[in-house]
Structure 1
Amino acid sequence: MKRDVAIKKNLTKLEAVMWSIALPGFAQLLTGNLVKGILFVLLEFLVNVNSNFNKGIMYSFLGETEKAMHVLDYQWLMFYPCLYMFAMWDAYRSVMPEEEKITFLPFAFSAYFVTVGLMISPKVKLFGLFPGPVFLPMLFVIPGVLTGFLIRKILLKFYYD
């Protein structure tokens, strides 16, 4: 019986991003970038465990956002947005056509905005509700992506034409 040593799969851009959303490093593993994939998975695990992120997610989805705020270690959790978005961009970059330019901007701006959302999350209420350290940063992905795409569009129009 023949065994494959490494799986190398051609992913679409959407597949690469979706596998990275599931867990940073999965897309890299699927495309055969084993060292990078294992590194991203280990880093995600390290940050996740040390920040108590899963407990924070669980409490947030149970509606206990105050409790989520108190179980999280923000010093560790602050690494998560950049790690998460960089792994996602790396997965996207590995399958994108070469002619695509400055595709990192939506990912980078999302990382910036999510980090800011995380930092201000203990103080923010929306419509009298406390979204907490999980849901507020998730909401900050939206302006991050939009800002990144807008700046990319402007740069492509005026700088790369």
Structure 2
Amino acid sequence: MRNIAALFSILMPGFGQIYNGQFIKGVFFLIVEHFDNVFGKINKAIHLDFNGLHQQAVEVANFEYMLFYPGFYAYCIWDAWYYAKPNADKTKTAIPFVIGGFLGEISAILANRLQIPTLTVGMLMIIPMICGMIIFRKQ
């Protein structure tokens, strides 16, 4: 089921690929996600941001690694969703996921200028992806 594969990837990039039976690709995505998360200090920044320490979250994050994450995250979700159905249309179905990745990148770039929790803005990237899954569910 396509939506289950995508939801697994929303939880952790690579899980959707493993669910689809693409074990090597899934493990590779898990390793890339792990190293990007550790070197970018993304979990620490999320923890601080959710606890109201926005400025400290911005200071602790390593943006050289963090700026890679939203695009990678959106790609992993699209990849799991797309490859869960044989013969799906690749050209149109990627558009909502590209929009989601773009929103995540913009929120990461503007993190130090936003007065609200950056992660909240970053999570907006999931909305176009879910809309795309609904709109293109038959393709």
TM-score by length of structure 2 reads 0.84
Matched, 1:116 2:106: yes
**d(CA) in 1 for partners of 2:14 and 2:126?**
20
In structure 1, give the amino acid aligned to 2:15.
Answer: F
User: What is the total number of aligned residue pairs between the two structures?
Assistant: 132
* Structure of higher RCO (CA pairs closer than 8 Å, 6+ residues apart): 2
1:120 Cα offset (Å): 1.1
1:54 Cα offset (Å): 0.6
Matched, 1:51 2:18: no
**Greater CA radius of gyration, 1 or 2?**
1
Matched, 1:24 2:13: yes
1:106 Cα offset (Å): 0.5
Unpaired segments ≥5 residues, structure 2:
none
User: 2:100–2:126: 8 Å Cα contact kept in structure 1?
Assistant: yes
**1:98-118 per-position Cα deviation (integer Å, ceiling 9, x unaligned):** 254521111111111210111
Q: Compared with structure 1, are the counterparts of its residues 140 and 85 closer, same or farther at alpha carbon in structure 2 (3 Å cutoff)? A: closer
**d(CA) in 1 for partners of 2:125 and 2:2?**
22
Matched, 1:131 2:116: yes
**d(CA) in 1 for partners of 2:121 and 2:18?**
30
Unpaired segments ≥5 residues, structure 1:
1-11, 125-129, 154-161
User: 2:41–2:62: 8 Å Cα contact kept in structure 1?
Assistant: yes
Q: Determine which structure has the larger helix proportion and give its number.
A: 2
TM-score by length of structure 1 reads 0.74
- Other-structure match for 2:70: 81
